[in-house]
Amino acid sequence: MKTLLYGVGVLTFLLAAGYVSAGERPISDCGERIENDGYPMEEHTVTTDDSYILTMHRIPYSKKTGPTGDRPVVFLMHGMLSSSSDWVLMGPGKALAYILSDAGYDVWMGNARGNTYSKKHKYWPTYWQIFWNFSWHEIGIYDVPNMIDYILKYTKKSQLQYVGHSQGTTVYLVMMSERPEYNNKIKSAHLLGPAAYMGNMKSPLTRAFAPILGQPNAMVELCGSMEFMPSNQFKQDMGIATCQATSPYAEMCANEIFLIGGYDSEQLDRDLLEHIKATSPAGASVNQNLHFCQEHNSKKFRKFDYSVIRNPYEYGTMYPPNYKIKNALAPVMLYYGANDWMCDLKDVLQLRDELPNVHLDYLVEFPKWAHLDFIWGTEAKKYVYDKVLEMMIDYE
């Protein structure tokens, strides 16, 4: 109750002091934002093999071209604590989803279990801990394959192009490791800020908590996981208020982003901060975060470590098995930055050397390029998206 009253007090002070505006609220819903930007939008629901109910957002065609008939399909998968909103947040001409739509693609955006748009299950409510008993392993073996199957069946296509950012790259590699038959459904995969090996990450937040949270963890699974950084209306309102460009706390909001992905003040539009806060964090499970912490500690790309007590039951071995990167046979394009605190150059190069079919090894030509610049960088089109589109066209 004290926290609530304090938050209301801060919000009231900021409004009264004139630091923030009580005017039009940034759009928090992805579908509403797409329609507000003048593009057609569809919502599609997918039920996974383990009964999670996911929402996808689709831009079937561009407002610039109209319904031009047969269009190649591209699937965009977000990172941890993100959602489909991140692919449209920067608006027409800048956001990747709109750029691909304008270029003639049928654009589909996925949402992983547990985020804002995928908080349903056929049997379990979200206040049951069992709902949250998953990491990004389950997103890779269930969510992504089931969404791809739905898209291909709906569009009557046999293949699509894949674009993932951060965890969206992790789950792609998990899918290919565990379900290699999906290689046949991918024309090409574009991995932005590829997150597999994490041993050299520089993110101070992760490095601070990984020694504790990244230990083999049987109890969290036995007792039940929970939601990590959930979002609600009050938190969104507080974030929007404190992160407006006119707010004295705007720079604090920017530093929060920099602490995660790396400092790159030149690529962050301060006017975008309140829109970011309207949609992020979008929620995830605690186990997703723990799994990444384990990756940092072990310096391996492997399955969730339950402990030597439970691992033999889960895997038949004392330690979790490594993912089979060699199974990722579809053409892969790697895009990474020199200033990425989550995906260090050494870790990306280790992944590159183990992947069997890398068709592009692209270090972004901007020295300060950081992890979140791939989705929110003001010059993402110039430094990354134009290259993605160029490579995608080559595989049509």
Q: Which residues are catalytic?
A: 166, 371
Both tokens of residue 240? 């929007």
Tell me the DSSP string of 99-113: HHHHTT-EEEE---T
99 burial (CB, 10 Å; 0-12 / 13-18 / 19+) is buried
Q: What is the Cβ-side half-sphere exposure of residue 11, based on CA atoms within 13 angstroms?
A: 15
How far CA 203 is from CA of 29, 60, 290, 365, in Å, comes to 29, 37, 15, 21
Q: Where are the beta strands (DSSP E) in 225-383?
A: 227-228, 284-285, 332-336, 358-363
Task: Name, in order, each residue with C-beta under 8 angstroms of 77's C-beta and a sequence gap of 6 or more.
Answer: 109, 110, 112, 144, 162, 163, 164, 165, 168, 171, 172
Only one residue has tokens 């932005």, namely 192
Give the separation between CA 391 and CA 322, rounded to whole angstroms.
Answer: 30
Task: Name, in order, each residue with C-beta under 8 angstroms of 307's C-beta and a sequence gap of 6 or more.
Answer: 216, 217, 218
* 343 and 336 Cβ atoms separated by less than 8 Å: yes
Residues facing 186 on adjacent strands: 160
What is the distance of C-alpha 356 from the center of its chain? 24
Cα angle at 227 between 225 and 231, to 5 degrees?
180
Only one residue has tokens 């699509």, namely 160
The 8-class DSSP code of residue 365 comes to S
Q: What is the Cβ-side half-sphere exposure of residue 298, based on CA atoms within 13 angstroms?
A: 23
Give CA torsion, residues 76, 190, 332, 54, to 10 deg. Answer: -20
Cα angle at 146 between 33 and 279, to 5 degrees?
25
